[in-house]
Structure 1
Amino acid sequence: MSNDLLTPSHLIILGLLLSFAIAHSGLASLRSWAETKIGPRAYRILFALVSLPLAVVLIVYFFNHRYDGIQLWQLQGIPIVKPIVWILSAISFLFLYPSTFNLLEIAAIQKPQVHLHETGIIRITRHPQMVGQVIWCIAHTLWLGTSFTLVTSVGLVLHHLFGVWHGDRRLQKRFGESYEKLKSRTSIIPFLAIIQGRQTLQFHEFLRWAYLGVGVFVLLFWQAHPLLIRATGNVYW
């Protein structure tokens, strides 16, 4: 760990985040056009071939440089902090991965389609991935407390806030009035539409195998976390 406020790794992670954001959002904006040229399945594969390697590079670089910069605070010695971080991290995954509910479409086995959902987690927020990312960033920034982690978190949150605007714009263009009606019944801020009476929670909608799958993934990830840290440590970036 360096004691410098702004190490080169701070700028590198911002560059990696920008590269990922351009590739990810750029390909998303081209989806309608690209699907007419190469088809939905080929587009999904292309999207994955571009996005996944960039995401892996980001994750590895973050793990290897998470303690760079200045230690802004140190809370790891406080017993209550660790369970709070893990609970927040588990909650963040429930928001981050609602798209995994249809794994056959994600893997392009079934024809990938754009869906308008208004059930389950969408009743809480229509942009669950943004909310999940914010929660993840809060948890990890709280735990690590370094300037590098803070810079990374700010970059991730800004990317996802842009994704909120960009996603609403694309869906509005694609679905028109149907999406306007969905927007009127949902909210970006978690639980706001429910508090305002525009939406109601249906708890039975959360009784899905996908949520159980995410829960099992979190438990497995918790067990494998030390192994993952050691594995990324062997990559000298």
Structure 2
Amino acid sequence: MIFAWWTPSHFIMLGLLIGFAIAHSGLAALRPWAEKRIGARLYRIVFALVSLPLAVVLIIYFINHRYEGWQLWQVQGVPGVESVVWVLSAISFLFLYPATFNLLEIAAIQKPQVHLYETGIIRVTRHPQMVGQIIWCIAHTLWLGTTFTLVTSVGLVLHHLFGVWHGDRRLTNRYGEAFTSVKDRTSIIPFLAIIQGKQTLKLQEFLRPAYLGVAVFVLLVWWSHPLFIQATGKVNW
């Protein structure tokens, strides 16, 4: 049959992605209302208790079903492809995790706040997590080449594109003209604001311990990747 490759796992992954998007973006939208009633720290804990388990389920399910569906291409034996995938993955982490710079706020040890940044990675793109997710999806879709991976990547990218609109909307409501000015001086497309002369890349802003932490994290992922895949394979999902 022509759609024999469209396995149930494709639908399940789409459902998981939609559920995660609703929970994650929905809680983000409720932040001003929730913080007034339960406080910033308790809100952060609730947000983490909802988002993290859903993210873990997504990761495990993706790893366990990544080779399902139609094999669109197979480049794993092509010289140099694995190196390209690892380089792209490392670059994606540099974009994905700038929010982890405020680790004490993420852990709710310090009072979590909404920050209006215009330095470091924000000079490159106003939405680094979206850019990082796209790079990660390109790398893994290239490596795996299955329809399941493609469906997962499309779902993740669409969620982050919605997050671009949603995030800008929430910051506009919160900061008004202050964010509008930042928006005018930054860009969604990487390096566009720099090319347009609205921003100047300052390399010294990247010389901070957090980037060293990201580099160490990438090395740990590279080292533990086979072990992680073996561990998730023991989960019967």
Per-residue CA distance 1:23-76 (angstroms, 9 max, x = gap)? 000000000000000000000000000000000000000000000001000000
User: In structure 2, the residue corresponding to 1:102 is in which secondary structure?
Assistant: helix
1:101: Cα distance to partner?
0.3
Show the counterpart of 2:130. Answer: 130
Show the counterpart of 2:169. Answer: 169
1:5: Cα distance to partner?
1.8
Residues 51-200 of structure 1: pairs in structure 2 closer than 5 A: 51-200=51-200
Amino acid at match of 1:104: L
Show the counterpart of 1:230. Answer: 230
Show the counterpart of 2:13. Answer: 13
CA distance in structure 1 between the partners assigned to 2:40 and 2:223 by the alignment: 36
Amino acid at match of 1:53: P
Show the counterpart of 2:30. Answer: 30
CA distance in structure 2 between the partners assigned to 1:199 and 1:43 by the alignment: 34
User: In structure 1, the residue corresponding to 2:117 is in which secondary structure?
Assistant: coil
- Name stretches of at least 5 consecutive residues in structure 2 with no aligned partner: none
CA distance in structure 1 between the partners assigned to 2:23 and 2:4 by the alignment: 31
RMSD: 0.7
CA distance in structure 1 between the partners assigned to 2:4 and 2:138 by the alignment: 23
Displaced runs of 4 or more, over 6 A? none
Per-residue CA distance 1:174-225 (angstroms, 9 max, x = gap)? 0000000000100000000000001110000000100000000000110000
CA distance in structure 2 between the partners assigned to 1:197 and 1:5 by the alignment: 48
Count of residue pairs brought into register by the alignment: 235
1:4: Cα distance to partner?
3.3
CA distance in structure 1 between the partners assigned to 2:123 and 2:5 by the alignment: 41
Show the counterpart of 1:204. Answer: 204
Q: What TM-score, normalized by structure 1, do the two folds share?
A: 0.98
User: In structure 2, the residue corresponding to 1:27 is in which secondary structure?
Assistant: helix
CA distance in structure 1 between the partners assigned to 2:20 and 2:171 by the alignment: 21
Amino acid at match of 1:48: A
Show the counterpart of 1:219. Answer: 219
User: In structure 2, the residue corresponding to 1:156 is in which secondary structure?
Assistant: helix
CA distance in structure 2 between the partners assigned to 1:79 and 1:150 by the alignment: 22
